[in-house]
Structure 1
Amino acid sequence: MGLARLAALHGVATTYSPSAGVSVPVPDSTVIAVLAALGVDAATPDAVGASLAAAESAAEERLLPPTVVAWLPVTGPAPVAVPPGARVRVELEDGGLLEWRESVPRATAAESAGTSAERPAAAHGWAELPTGVHRLTVRTSGGRTGAAVLVAAPEAVDRPAERVHGFLVQLYSLLSGRSWGMGDLGDLAELASWAGRALGSGFVQVNPLHAAVPGAPTDPSPYRPSSRRFPDPVHLRIEDVPEYAYVAGRDRVRLDALLEKAAELRASVLEKGALIDRDAVWQLKLRALELVLRVPLGPGRWAAYCAFLAERGRALDDHATWCALAEVHGSDWHTWPAGLRDPRSPETARARGDLMDRVDFHCRLAWLTDEQLAAAATAAADAGMAVGIVHDLAVGVHPGGADAWSQQDAFAAGMSVGAPPDAFNARGQDWGLPPWRPDALAASGYAPYRGLLRGLLRHAGALRLDHVMGLFRLWWVPLGAEPTQGTYVRYDAEAMLAVLVLEAHRAGAVVIGEDLGTVEPGVREALSRRGVLGTSVLWFERDWAGSGRPLPPEDWREGCVATATTHDLPSTAARLTGEHVALRHRLGLLTRPLDRERTEDSAEVAEWRACLTRLGLLPEGTHDEEGEIRAVYRFLLSTPARMIGVWLPDAVGDRRPQNLPGTWDQYPNWRLPVADAAGRPMTLDDLAASPRLHALMEVFRTEQVPRTGTPGARPS
């Protein structure tokens, strides 16, 4: 009982439910290990007793929690209990000050009856709070003092004022005639400009553009980055760097030679069927950037660079220092000389000075990438896109990367994020990502999380959060243990949501949560209450509580991005033709006989064909692949979903998934260019001229697109 009580006080689960009505106990060894990662000793019964006493005593003595959330406008009860007569002081983030004394409320009939009566916040200073991250101090009449970070956020983030549609694309897969072997930020700007103007699209959603961990080879997955705080310069369009035009002499000869090699690399992908080779692309771009960055910055450019350095501050300095050290000592900081494993050590300070030129080089790369991200956002806005570029936030970072090195106090040592066993994966999952410590986040006023969001939202029209359920709880797996031996650790979801809503509000951005899979009760409702859109995928939307049949379009939720597929799922053409089953069979991934898999898959597709026919959405008739794909998107348009996402490969009949979960070297995950139905790679120019793509997008021009809600409306 003592261990369970101690675990509960720290948000650590001692049981979990893999399915309705089933409860599985968590091993004591796991609970003890997780508590240790939170700085709590539970190794022995005596240690449990001492830690429990300390935790309960601290909770009793604490006047305020480390972080307080106020949803604005505050019209009901105060956001935190303050003793009557206490002095309340709020130091506003803009330097202003609010002060008041909590008055003693008059006795009411409710109080006389022995029930509590909350005094409206409008009767005191809480009603005057502006949005922001403030400092709250409370001093009681008895002399006790408490302090906390106060996050004051709007009650919800705004959703798109009108229904919008747009493309979903993995940026690396979208090559043009100017790419250096993989899609880049120049291609993103071009796609946004074309889609907005020619097709009336309201957004383009891309994969995470976070900085990758360098290696040989580099992990191609965009969901296991070195840093989520800074983008990867591999996405730079070299020719768009202003200093590129002024490279001269021998450096120009060398740069022109690199351009020729880039053309060869591009041709190998587009014409010879080679896979996208991120490492080869980066080696060419790195050499080119080293030449380009020799060109001195003009006064205006220098001033802009200095402003960027000042704005990003220590976070950028840490990131660039890690990059410079990784070039010398390797990309896993755990293997570096002992003194360099601490970003604040004297040894690291000396190394930073010794490597000053390389640190500045990596700062420059971050600045240039930020500029091109801004240019893509501007291109989207100029093309009339209502939302613009939708950026993606991965759920975590690589344990050996820049963020894990520079923010060690915020991450739980010896732990990895994953997923518990369920009906689809009896062994559970271990994603190899260190989790944030909820206690460290709260103690810092969620500073690491705030900084992360602010950086990502700089040039985003919307932000998608991968595995958004992680704002509420994450499955922690002790290193060396099986995923089945993990447990859930709970986060302060109110604080996490308040920070998210505040930063999105400041940026004027929409927020999308990837809420697919197992979602605990109440999570989707809490997200919707704060304006966060969910994600609804056609094949998963069924009447699970009733008939099990496809969910009628009118019963879909409004607050979502409705899609036919995702980067982790088969394309619509593969789903309709059964190619995804054949692919998994070829790779030995099926867990049941092929005939059974084909039979069940064919039955599911037939059910959807019948549904589309019954609704009058398939005038082309069955066995017309392009017509069936158009019918799928007509169906999505008949739902009330606020945003409709078109998987770009669907527009040209691509059969191949970008990522096949459960595979590593058996399948070329994250390395495939967008291709046509025959598997021939297509450039952005090819896509723009594709009759098949235009026939699909004609659906969005000719079908009635109902508008939902009113401009600026908040969710009910």
Structure 2
Amino acid sequence: MTASLIEYLVEYRGIESNYNDAWGKPTTIARATKEKLLKVMGYDVDDSNTLQQQAEDEANQSWLSPLGPVQVIRSGNDFHIAVRLPIELVDDEYEAVVTTEHGATVGCRFIPIEGQLTNVAHIEEIEFQEYVVKLEVSLPLGYHSLSLQADKDELARMSIIVAPQSCYKPQAILDGQKVWGLSVQLYCLRSENNWGIGDFSDLAFLLESAAKQGAQFVGLNPIHALYPAQPDVCSPYGPSSRRWLNFIYIDVTKVDGFEQNSVQNVVITNEFIEKLATARNTDLVDYTTVSYLKLTALSCIFEYQNAKYLSKNTKMNKVFKQFVADGGESLQTIATYDALQEYLSSKQVPSWGWPVFPEELSDFDKPAVKAFTKKHKKRIKFFMWLQWQAAIQLEQANQVAINNNMSIGLYRDLAVGVSEGSAEIWGNKDLYCVNASVGAPPDELGPLGQSWGLPPMDPEKLYQQQYQPIIDLFRANMHATGALRIDHVMALLRLWWVSKGDNATEGGYVYYPVDDLLGILALESHRNQSMVIGEDLGTVPPEIREKLAENGVYSYRVFFFEQAKDGGFYSPAHYPEQSMATLTTHDMPTLKGYWNCYDLELGKELSLYPNSRVLNELYNSRHRNKQAILDTLHGHNSVTEEVGYDVNSVGMSRALNFGMQLHMAAGSSELLSLQLEDWLEMDKPVNIPGTSDEYPNWRRKLTQDLQYIYSDDALNKLALDLTKIRKRVSI
């Protein structure tokens, strides 16, 4: 009985039993793994009686609710809902009253038994039947509410989401233009004015400069909120909240009030100036110093604004209050969390995340947290103000792209999850399975598999919460952008879950409601006029790429992974048009690092390979691949005779570097993304997957200031050539 019940729950909760790995090999998930995944979902798999009761309670709860929490339908499709009722009530007449998001109402009468019977259940000797009923109601795109009524009495209510058939595309792309742009890690940027880390003013400068060269977008790393009180926790892919921004990107000098004497008296001290010079001159971002400098100065500016504007009936205060109101509980959560973590850290109390907070403070809804909120109201207001200032400067940067007629403009990156100790989980623990981590099975990027320390959302809880967390997430990250890249886009279909403490190879896939999530993605894409790129690398089932393409989501094609079975590299002319092509990513070596095998040397130093045999094969494979690259470059006349034909005598040169970029520009992908690291011929990677403290991930700066990049004749010519080639291949 227990075995069959477990298999039922495995199927019911979307745990996959079999999959094909990154090399196409059929793989079976162990029973022990499936039981562990059920356990992290909250099932007591060790007690058969309790497990049986849990399964019965879940089933009964579903049947006792006449409607589901939410339904996503596509515009133009028939409108069906599932209705569950006791058998004696299924031939009565009911009315579905839909209230649109703008307040209009429309009703439709129906009799459930006239629909399609899809399921039957018995609860305490009462038979329940489920019918799928077609409603003759036409609804506009948007978020609506449906009330199921009998004789004007409401029996149940559900959310109705009407979505377009596919994601938004800008007119330039619809007209057949092939465009290019730059992808950057914002923190890596050097400039004459920043405070040791790239900021939103640097971004604005980059957007304007790139636009003048013909680029149509600038792509960013995730700029999600991290931890002001834990500045060295700096991975953009392990944020505290994906809805809010990292304050560290604020250009302090551009905030109203910076010029005030109270602020200037702080920033002109010898200590401050010395720390600022140190932060600017290091080759690695010194997050601790930068955070100290910015929080110190911004706290002073806040004191000025709060006294003069934000405590009075001023226009500025009205705008700020509206920002706070729009941010709702989510903004209150991140601001309270930041203030609380800062307070605990100052008291030398363990504070890396809510799991080590004092018990009475371990949940946003606890009374002690409410008491803290009242006592530290002003500091919490400061952290909300930081989010406001960051949003203002991000919007200003986006406006630069609009003013320069970039067809896409600013392009953001959405991380796959939040870290274990995040504010997002602290504020909504019911949504997350905190005893599991998202990761990946073994693949080319991670031969040993990966566990990222990011607890997954429970798909059932997400459904019960009417998908609101994912709606808010897409909306926040598409705001003030022209495109959104979704890291590990397979998460819309399935995620690799690893039980806490297990090796990444011991994980398994859990499925998500992909069609519903894609519908919401399409709706927010149109509302924000933001196109969507899905990072579909690694272990990717063919059906997800087909489904993404049908929904207007752009594929992500990396040159080094587009390789035929004979070892040759596919011509970029054969890439799907609905794709973004690129040479490298933030998880890969730079072009120079790849050619010189610097990544393999680092991997050896950091013991990333199981044995010398594996490393030797990687070196041999790299040698073969480099020869194949030379063959394809010469075969397509992408490089001149200046670049040799024999890998044994060809080192990485500017001619080869630029030749590879121009080779990609001649491809069929509508979008081409290139990295500033490769423009500057850098060799060190920004991140090495599978490492944490072994390598300074997410810290390495660019080798040159932005001002240098846009005064370099060779780089300006490269940009001009890229623009010419992209125009030539446009339809």
TM-score (norm 2): 0.87
Equivalent residue for 1:653? 681
In structure 2, which of residues 70, 73, 81 is the aligned counterpart of residue 70 of structure 1? 73
Q: CA RMSD in A?
A: 2.8
Equivalent residue for 2:35? 32
In structure 1, which of residues 340, 344, 353 is the aligned counterpart of residue 365 of structure 2? 344
Partner Cα separation in structure 1 for residue 237 and residue 247 of structure 2: 16
Equivalent residue for 1:255? 267
Equivalent residue for 1:110? none
Equivalent residue for 2:694? 666
Q: 1:553 to 1:442 in 2, by over 3 A?
A: same
Equivalent residue for 1:43? 46
Q: CA deviation at 1:35?
A: 2.5
The answer to whether residue 535 in structure 2 is matched with residue 514 in structure 1 is yes
Matched residue SS, 2:303: coil
**Greater Cα shift, 609-618 or 622-631:** 622-631
Matched residue SS, 2:393: helix
Partner Cα separation in structure 2 for residue 708 and residue 147 of structure 1: 49
Partner AA of 1:150 in structure 2: I
Matched residue SS, 1:416: strand
**Greater Cα shift, 607-616 or 36-45:** 36-45
In structure 2, which of residues 218, 232, 238 is the aligned counterpart of residue 218 of structure 1? 232
Q: 1:166 to 1:672 in 2, by over 3 A?
A: same
Equivalenced residue count is 678
Deviation string, structure 1 residues 492-549 (Cα, Å, up to 9, x no partner): 11121122111121111111111111112311111111111121100101235xx442
- Aligned 8 A contact 2:354 2:363 in 1: no
In structure 1, which of residues 101, 115, 121 is the aligned counterpart of residue 109 of structure 2? 101
Deviation string, structure 1 residues 456-476 (Cα, Å, up to 9, x no partner): 222121111111111111122
Partner AA of 2:197 in structure 1: M
Partner Cα separation in structure 1 for residue 608 and residue 29 of structure 2: 30
Equivalent residue for 1:207? 221
Partner Cα separation in structure 2 for residue 500 and residue 356 of structure 1: 36
Q: CA deviation at 1:619?
A: 2.5
Equivalent residue for 1:604? 625
The answer to whether residue 156 in structure 2 is matched with residue 125 in structure 1 is no
Partner Cα separation in structure 2 for residue 204 and residue 572 of structure 1: 19
Partner Cα separation in structure 2 for residue 370 and residue 344 of structure 1: 26
Partner Cα separation in structure 2 for residue 684 and residue 394 of structure 1: 26
Q: 1:351 to 1:595 in 2, by over 3 A?
A: closer
- Aligned 8 A contact 1:419 1:475 in 2: yes
Partner Cα separation in structure 1 for residue 110 and residue 12 of structure 2: 29
Matched residue SS, 1:522: helix
- Aligned 8 A contact 2:581 2:664 in 1: yes
The answer to whether residue 489 in structure 2 is matched with residue 468 in structure 1 is yes
Q: CA deviation at 1:584?
A: 3.4
In structure 2, which of residues 95, 99, 107 is the aligned counterpart of residue 87 of structure 1? 95
Partner AA of 1:555 in structure 2: H
The answer to whether residue 178 in structure 2 is matched with residue 163 in structure 1 is yes
- The alignment-based identity, stated in percent, is 29
Equivalent residue for 2:126? none
Partner AA of 1:477 in structure 2: V
Deviation string, structure 1 residues 28-81 (Cα, Å, up to 9, x no partner): 3x433433443434333333433444445555565443221111122xx43445
Partner Cα separation in structure 2 for residue 326 and residue 619 of structure 1: 57
Partner AA of 1:389 in structure 2: L
Partner Cα separation in structure 2 for residue 73 and residue 265 of structure 1: 60
Matched residue SS, 1:294: helix
- Aligned 8 A contact 1:38 1:439 in 2: no
- Aligned 8 A contact 1:89 1:97 in 2: yes
Task: For 1:268-279, list aligned pairs within 5 A.
Answer: 268-269=281-282, 274-279=283-288
Partner Cα separation in structure 1 for residue 395 and residue 292 of structure 2: 24
Q: CA deviation at 1:626?
A: 1.9
Q: CA deviation at 1:331?
A: 3.5
Equivalent residue for 2:258? 244
Partner AA of 1:125 in structure 2: E
Matched residue SS, 2:79: coil
Equivalent residue for 1:699? 721
Equivalent residue for 1:712? none
**Greater Cα shift, 158-167 or 653-662:** 158-167
Task: For 1:224-623, list aligned pairs within 5 A.
Answer: 224-245=238-259, 247-248=260-261, 251-257=263-269, 260-261=273-274, 263-269=276-282, 274-296=283-305, 297-298=308-309, 299-329=314-344, 330-422=351-443, 425=446, 427-544=448-565, 547-590=566-609, 591-592=611-612, 596-622=617-643, 623=650
Partner Cα separation in structure 1 for residue 529 and residue 452 of structure 2: 32
Partner Cα separation in structure 1 for residue 110 and residue 600 of structure 2: 66
**Greater Cα shift, 481-490 or 409-418:** 481-490
Partner Cα separation in structure 2 for residue 635 and residue 66 of structure 1: 50
- Aligned 8 A contact 1:15 1:487 in 2: no
Q: 1:346 to 1:600 in 2, by over 3 A?
A: closer
Q: CA deviation at 1:180?
A: 0.5
Q: 1:379 to 1:346 in 2, by over 3 A?
A: same
Q: CA deviation at 1:592?
A: 3.6
Q: CA deviation at 1:390?
A: 0.8
- Aligned 8 A contact 2:16 2:29 in 1: no
- Aligned 8 A contact 2:200 2:394 in 1: yes
Gaps of 5+ in 1: 108-117, 676-681, 710-716
Partner Cα separation in structure 2 for residue 294 and residue 104 of structure 1: 62
Partner AA of 1:568 in structure 2: D
Partner Cα separation in structure 1 for residue 419 and residue 303 of structure 2: 32
TM-score (norm 1): 0.88
- Aligned 8 A contact 2:80 2:133 in 1: no
Equivalent residue for 1:679? none
Q: 1:59 to 1:350 in 2, by over 3 A?
A: closer
Equivalent residue for 1:714? none
Matched residue SS, 2:157: strand
Q: 1:267 to 1:106 in 2, by over 3 A?
A: closer
Q: CA deviation at 1:230?
A: 0.9
Partner Cα separation in structure 1 for residue 595 and residue 444 of structure 2: 24
Deviation string, structure 1 residues 137-164 (Cα, Å, up to 9, x no partner): 34589x9955322111111112242322
Matched residue SS, 2:106: strand
Partner Cα separation in structure 2 for residue 369 and residue 170 of structure 1: 17
Partner AA of 2:322 in structure 1: A
Partner AA of 2:413 in structure 1: D
- Aligned 8 A contact 1:333 1:400 in 2: yes
Q: CA deviation at 1:617?
A: 1.5
Partner AA of 2:45 in structure 1: A
Gaps of 5+ in 2: 84-89, 116-130, 345-350, 644-649
Deviation string, structure 1 residues 626-661 (Cα, Å, up to 9, x no partner): 222222222222222111001111112111111112
Partner Cα separation in structure 1 for residue 273 and residue 483 of structure 2: 37
**Greater Cα shift, 1-10 or 593-602:** 593-602
Task: For 1:168-179, list aligned pairs within 5 A.
Answer: 168-179=183-194
Equivalent residue for 2:122? none
Partner Cα separation in structure 2 for residue 320 and residue 278 of structure 1: 20
**Greater Cα shift, 50-59 or 377-386:** 50-59
The answer to whether residue 718 in structure 2 is matched with residue 690 in structure 1 is no
Q: CA deviation at 1:185?
A: 0.8
Q: CA deviation at 1:553?
A: 2.8
Matched residue SS, 1:2: helix
Q: 1:233 to 1:530 in 2, by over 3 A?
A: same
Q: CA deviation at 1:701?
A: 3.0
- Aligned 8 A contact 1:132 1:502 in 2: yes
